[in-house]
């Protein structure tokens, strides 16, 4: 594990360990690497490994809700974490465009128990908007080749705070993804 990955894991652990001082914690990630670039593909072997790494990273996070889109790659990325937490994945439709989807995800996340963690698995074109809808004033850009980014948003009154981290193996170059 590289130093930046160790620091990211430490940052996640510290944020999640803060416990009752946080109203809610929402962890937002993009789906894992996909087997094919088009359609509704399954995860590749690397994507399946990333889904397992996500579950391991969140193993002590008290995940109480998992949200994903209807597409296989988000469902497959979320499944190991949902299984470990003993919760079902709630599907949030993509209809109405990215801003409408982001608002539905944010509204659903805010219904989670106050002392729990919500996992949101989205797409390169949705996770920034979802982070913004949850109070992240400066979500980082996500390209088609970024799979290891994680945004952790602490929802609190009167404002939210966000931490940008990375998890799992470093993203490899993805020509034509």
User: Are 18 and 111 within 8 A, CB to CB?
Assistant: no
Contact criterion met (CB below 8 Å) for 148 and 171: yes
Task: Identify the segments of the chain with pLDDT beneath 50.
Answer: 1-8, 10, 14, 16-22, 176-177
Task: Please tell me the predicted confidence (pLDDT) of residue 160.
Answer: 78
Superfamily (CATH) of domain 3-166: Phosphoglycerate mutase-like (3.40.50.1240)
Q: Where are the domains of the chain?
A: 3-166
């Amino acid at each position: 594990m590289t130093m930046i990955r160790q620091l990211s894991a430490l940052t996640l652990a510290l944020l999640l360990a803060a416990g009752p001082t946080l109203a809610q914690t929402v962890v937002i990630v993009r789906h894992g690497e996909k087997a094919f670039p088009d359609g509704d593909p399954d995860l590749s072997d690397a994507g399946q490994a990333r889904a397992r790494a996500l579950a391991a990273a969140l193993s002590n996070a008290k995940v109480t809700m998992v949200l994903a889109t209807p597409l296989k790659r988000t469902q497959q990325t979320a499944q190991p974490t949902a299984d470990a937490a003993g919760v079902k994945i709630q599907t949030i439709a993509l209809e109405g465009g990215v801003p409408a989807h982001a608002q539905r995800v944010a509204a659903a996340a805010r219904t989670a128990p106050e002392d729990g963690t919500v996992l949101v698995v989205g797409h390169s074109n949705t996770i920034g908007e979802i982070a913004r809808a949850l109070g992240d004033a400066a979500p980082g850009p996500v390209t088609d080749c970024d799979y290891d980014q994680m945004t952790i948003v602490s929802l609190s009154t009167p404002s939210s705070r966000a931490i940008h981290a990375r998890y799992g193996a470093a993203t490899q170059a993805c020509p034509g993804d």
